[in-house]
Amino acid sequence: MFVLETKDLTYTYGAGTPFQKTAVDHVSFGIEKGEFLGIIGHTGSGKSTLIQTLNGLLRPTSGSVLLKGKDIWAEPKKIRSVRFQVGMVFQYPEHQLFEETVLKDICFGPGNMGLGTEESEARARQAAKFVGLDEDLLNQSPFELSGGQKRRAAIAGVIAMDPDVLILDEPTAGLDPQGRDRLLEQISQYHKVRGSTVVLVSHSMEDIARYADRVLVMNKGKAVMLDTTERVFARGRELEGMGLRVPQITSILLYLQEKGYPVHPVLTVDEAVEELRPLLKKGRVRHGS
Amino acid sequence: MVRDITLGQYIPGKSMIHRMDPRVKIALTFVFIIFLFVASNFQGIALMIALMLAVLALSGVPFGQYFRSLKAIIVIVLFTAVLNLFYGSGTVVWRCPFFPVMQITDGGIGNAVFISIRIISLILFSSVLTFTTSPTQLTDALERIMKPLKVLHVKVHEISMMMTIALRFVPTLLEETDKIMSAQKARGADLESGGLMQRIRALVPILIPLFVSSFRRAYDLAMAMECRCYHGGEGRTRMKQLHMTRLDTAAIVCTAVFCAGVLFCVFRFPAALR
In a domain, B53, yes or no: yes
- For residues B46 and B258, is the Cβ–Cβ distance under 8 A? no
Identity of residue A17: T
Q: Walk me through the domains of chain A, giving residue ranges and CATH numbers.
A: 2-246 (3.40.50.300), 247-289 (no CATH)
Residues with Cβ < 8 Å from A280, sequence gap 6 or more? none
In a domain, B32, yes or no: yes
- For residues A36 and A43, is the Cβ–Cβ distance under 8 A? no
| Structural domain that includes position B58 | 11-147+244-268
Beta A86-89 vs A165-169: how paired, if at all?
A: parallel
pLDDT digits (tens, 9 = 90+) for B23-48: 999 999 999 999 998 888 888 899 99
Beta-carbon separation of B188 and A161 below 8 A: yes
Residue A285 has a pLDDT of 52
Query: What is the rounded CA–CA span in Å between residue A147 and residue A172?
Result: 11
Min Cα distance A99 → chain B (Å) is 8
For residues A175 and A38, the model is more confident at: A38
Query: What is the rounded CA–CA span in Å between residue B245 and residue B23?
Result: 12
Nearest chain A residue to B211 by CA: give it. Answer: A98
Query: What is the rounded CA–CA span in Å between residue B158 and residue B150?
Result: 11
Facing residue for A98 by CB, picked from B176, B186, B204:
B204
Query: What is the rounded CA–CA span in Å between residue A191 and residue B28?
Result: 68
pLDDT digits (tens, 9 = 90+) for B131-159: 888 888 888 888 888 888 888 888 888 88
* Chain A, chain B: beta-carbon pairs less than 8 Å apart: 57
| A251 DSSP 8-state letter | H
The interface predicted TM-score of the complex, written ipTM, equals: 0.85
pLDDT digits (tens, 9 = 90+) for A124-179: 999 999 898 988 999 999 999 988 899 999 999 999 999 999 999 999 988 888 88
Alpha carbons within 13 A on the beta-carbon side of A50? 35
Identity of residue A189: Q
In a domain, B162, yes or no: no
| A267 DSSP 8-state letter | S
Model confidence band, residue B7 (pLDDT cutoffs 50, 70, 90): very low
Residue B234 has a pLDDT of 77
User: Given CB atoms, is B212 within the 8 Å cutoff of chain A?
Assistant: yes
Residue A286 has a pLDDT of 55
SS3 B63: helix
User: Given CB atoms, is A84 within the 8 Å cutoff of chain B?
Assistant: yes
Model confidence band, residue A61 (pLDDT cutoffs 50, 70, 90): very high
Q: Which of A177-186, A199-208, B49-58, B184-193 has the lowest mean pLDDT?
A: B184-193
Percent over 90 (pLDDT), chain B: 32
Residue A110 has a pLDDT of 93
In a domain, B170, yes or no: no
Facing residue for A83 by CB, picked from B180, B186, B209:
B186
Query: What domain count does chain B have?
Result: 1
In a domain, B5, yes or no: no
pLDDT digits (tens, 9 = 90+) for B50-60: 999 999 999 88
Beta B103-105 vs B92-95: how paired, if at all?
A: antiparallel
Nearest chain B residue to A80 by CA: give it. Answer: B188
In a domain, B80, yes or no: yes
Nearest chain B residue to A95 by CA: give it. Answer: B209
Q: Which of A270, A267, A279 is nearest to A234 (CA)?
A: A267
Hey, which residues does A168 pair with through a beta bridge?
A89, A200
Query: What is the rounded CA–CA span in Å between residue B149 and residue B160?
Result: 13
Beta-carbon separation of A95 and B185 below 8 A: no
For chain B, the average pLDDT equals 85
Mean pLDDT of the B161-185 span: 88
Beta-carbon separation of A112 and B187 below 8 A: yes
Percent over 70 (pLDDT), chain B: 96
pLDDT digits (tens, 9 = 90+) for B56-110: 999 888 888 888 888 878 888 999 998 888 877 777 777 777 777 777 888 888 8
Residue B3 has a pLDDT of 42
Min Cα distance B1 → chain A (Å) is 10
Q: Which residues of A touch B179 (CB under 8 A)?
A: 90, 95
In a domain, B198, yes or no: no
Mean pLDDT of the A6-27 span: 86
In a domain, B205, yes or no: no
pLDDT digits (tens, 9 = 90+) for B231-249: 887 778 877 788 888 999 9
Q: Which of B7, B6, B9, B29 is nearest to B17 (CA)?
A: B29
SS3 A175: coil
User: With 70 as the cut, is the pLDDT of residue B8 above it?
Assistant: no
Residues with Cβ < 8 Å from B54, sequence gap 6 or more? none
Mean pLDDT of the A216-242 span: 90
Model confidence band, residue A287 (pLDDT cutoffs 50, 70, 90): low
Model confidence band, residue B1 (pLDDT cutoffs 50, 70, 90): very low
